[in-house]
Every structure is written in structure tokens, then in C-alpha cells.
Amino acid sequence: MADTAYLDWPFFEPHHRELARALEAWAREHVPQAHGHDVDAACRVLVRSLGQGGWLRHAVAGTAHGGAGEAIDTRAICLIRETLARHSGLADFAFAMQGLGSGAISLGGSPEQRAAWLPRVARGEAIAAFALSEPEAGSDVAAMACAARQEGGDYVLDGEKTWISNGGIADFYVVFARTGEAPAARGISAFIVEAGTPGFEIAERIDVIAPHPLARLRFTGCRVPSAHRIGPAGEGFKLAMRTLDVFRTSVAAAALGFARRALDEALQRATTRRLFGQHLADFQLTQAKLAQMAATVDSAALLTYRAAWQRDQGRSVTREAAMAKMCATEGAQSVIDAAVQIFGGLGVVSEMPVERLYREIRALRIYEGATEVQQLIIARELLKDVKERGQP
């Protein structure tokens, strides 16, 4: 039984506590532990099932378009991601990508775009993807080369995107491309590109250590109507950053879910495995590991829900979200590693829960801003404070 004492923390309102408890009960019944080898099929089933369960309503904004509220409730998406990640990395992925992929539409879409896509995303009937990264523009997003030129009433896209989650199974992609209104980040716009649009192809499927649908996309003279541009021309970079701002804290929450599962597994194993005439948990060296793991989990949870709460108060969370993402993902890696150690040989057997977690956590330290990028953000915010307020 997972420890849910943290739900009593003052960051939450009663409806958050109810949501977490209801999802836990639902996940036990509906989220499989193993998904087989066809991740495309597994993801489609998970999206549909999360939609039918009503959970995807939290991933989109606007009650008129199927959303649970007018704005995305950061604490709700964090609790959902944490709970799903504790059960299954793929279920967390399926939920998160519906939100990230449709985030730009929730935040900046026209009424027509919102009406066309958000209800289907919320019901799990349309799969979403967020296409920002390129082979030569990952951490340095503003270096993007994929271009969209205006021609008549259309835009024509040329270029590539890579590392695109849900690439190959998505029904639509929010694609960021250079439209050239101004140099660097100020000359980028966002577009909705539907799967099957002529000139758009999946150039390559990418296999990763924790399998999920991932692809490199290619656009060759791909024509999309101007009505598919999201928000004003040249404002796409801001929209991408605003979308990431909503979801960055939720990456910390997913890492937290992985870490909690690893701690639960480690506690169960350490208290039942006998060696040298006693239980593994009776050794002080094991207790030191468990203590460090529990403290790391709690500190990650405090940072994550502080950032989520602060964002829900309408306050800036640039520094807090970066701290949460950095500490929760790095911390989860160390907690999971300790759990693998406690399991001994069993810890590295394929598809054991801790082995799966060991693979699943790794990418979270890289995507949506690698740890080094979060460090730079935190330091920049600290130094800005010194400049504004004077020396401490």
C-alpha cells in the first residue's frame, strides 16, 4: 500500500486529495503493469482508457472543450502523473503527451482550433504530439532550422524534427517552425499539422531504453492552411516556453512517482529477504540506504508540490519549477539505483519493476530541459535577484 500521508500537506485542496485517491483506485484496476512489445498499440489503448476514465480532462483547458477547469490545474496534473508513474511509465507518458501535445492549443489556440481538437484529446480520441526539437536544435531550441514560408493562404513547411514522442501514432502534431518575422527566438510560429498531410512523413522510428513511440519527422513542401497557425506569427517560441512552463513541474512529479515505487519495492524486498540469519532491512547499511531514499523522495515531493501550488496561485515559477525538475529527476535516479542494489541480482532481471524504473527514469534528466539547463535557469534567477535587490 503506497504511503499517501503527503496528501495532507497544505499545498492541496480537498478536490486534489479526492482526485489522487480516485485515480489510485482506478489505476489499480485499469493500468496494466506490463504492456507487451507493441508500444504503439499499448499507447493507443492507454490513451483511450485514460480518456474514458475522465483523466485526460485535466490535460486540457476550458470546460467548454472537455477540460476539467478553465485553466490547467498544475497540482492535479502533478498528482495524476505521480500516481500513473508509480503504476506504469507508459501510462504516465500517454497522459503527459496528451497535455504537452495540445498545450499550445489550450494556451493560445483560436476558438475553432480549440473546438476542433481539445474535446477529442480529452476523450482520448485524438493523440497529440509536440514537435520542437531538431537534430541541431535540442537544448539550444532557438537554433531551429525547420522553416514555414507563406504562400497564398497557406504556409509551406520544410525541415526536420526529432525525438518526437508519439511520432508515428499521433493524429496531429503541434510543430514549431521558423517564419522569420525577427531573428532567433522571435521569428518562430506554431502550426497544427495533421497526420497524413501530404509532404509530412515519419522519416525514422527511434528505439530507446524505455520504449515508447518516438520518431524523426520530415516536412518536404508540406502545405498547411494559415488557419492552422496557433496564435500570432512570430510568437511560437513564447507559446512553446509557456507550454513547457505548465508541464515542466509535472516531469518532476513523474520522477517522484518512479522514486516512490522504487522505495516501496525496496522496502518490501528488504523486509522479506533473509541473508546471514536476518532480514536485509536489519542491517544498518541497508537502513542508511532506505533513510536516504525516503528523505530524497520527500524533498522531491516538497519541491514539486511547492512549484505546482505556486503556479496555481498565478505566480511565476521559473526558479521553483527548475529546482523541482532538477532535484526530483536526479534524486529519483539515485533512489532507483539504490533499489536495484537492494534487489541484488534480481534488480537487473528484465521487466522486474526496479529494472523497468532504472530504464524509465533516465530520459527525464534530459528532456524538457536537461539538468544543466535547469542549473543555469536557477543560477540566472538567483543572480537576477542579487542585481535587483542588491547584495545579500
Kindly list the catalytic residues.
368
Q: Which of 367, 379, 383, 386 binds ligand FAD (CB under 6 A)?
A: 367
DSSP 187: G
Shortest distance, position 35 Cβ to ligand FAD, whole Å: 16
222 SS3 class: strand
379 binds ligand FAD (CB under 6 A): no
Shortest distance, position 372 Cβ to ligand FAD, whole Å: 4
Binding mask of the shown chain, residues 115 to 154, with x at each position contacting ligand FAD by CB under 6 A: ---------------xxxx----xxx--------------
217 binds ligand FAD (CB under 6 A): no
Shortest distance, position 386 Cβ to ligand FAD, whole Å: 21
205 binds ligand FAD (CB under 6 A): no
Contact 358, 337 (CB under 8 A): yes
Using the minimum distance from each CB to ligand FAD, give the nearer residue, 160 or 265.
160
Q: Of all residues in this chain, which one has the CB nearest to ligand FAD in the complex? A: 138
370 binds ligand FAD (CB under 6 A): yes
> Residue 389: exposed, middle, or buried by beta-carbon count in 10 A (0-12, 13-18, 19+)?
exposed
Q: Which three cell numbers stand for residue 76?
A: 492535479
Of 32-40, 292-300, 345-353, 361-369, the window that binds ligand FAD (rule: CB under 6 A) is 361-369
Alpha helices in 271-348 (DSSP H): 284-312, 318-343
Using the minimum distance from each CB to ligand FAD, give the nearer residue, 352 or 370.
370
**Helix, strand, coil percentages for the chain (3-state, nearest 5):** 60, 15, 25
Query: Which single residue is written with the C-alpha cell 527514469?
Result: 361
Q: Which three cell numbers stand for residue 331?
A: 534524486
179 SS3 class: coil
Using the minimum distance from each CB to ligand FAD, give the nearer residue, 161 or 289.
161
Using the minimum distance from each CB to ligand FAD, give the nearer residue, 151 or 372.
372
Q: How many CB atoms lie within 10 A of CB 279?
A: 15
Q: How far apart are CA 200 and CA 157, in angstroms?
A: 9
372 binds ligand FAD (CB under 6 A): yes
Q: How far apart are CA 132 and CA 142, in angstroms?
A: 10
Q: How many residues bind ligand FAD (CB under 6 A)?
A: 20
Q: How far apart are CA 199 and CA 218, in angstroms?
A: 8
Q: Which of 41, 64, 142, 208 binds ligand FAD (CB under 6 A)?
A: 208
Q: Which three cell numbers stand for residue 105?
A: 492549443
Shortest distance, position 277 Cβ to ligand FAD, whole Å: 44
Q: How far apart are CA 236 and CA 318, in angstroms?
A: 19
373 binds ligand FAD (CB under 6 A): yes
Alpha-carbon torsion (262, 265, 270, 273), positive or negative: negative
Q: Which residues bind ligand FAD (CB under 6 A)?
A: 130-133, 138-140, 163-165, 208, 214, 363, 366-368, 370, 372-373, 376
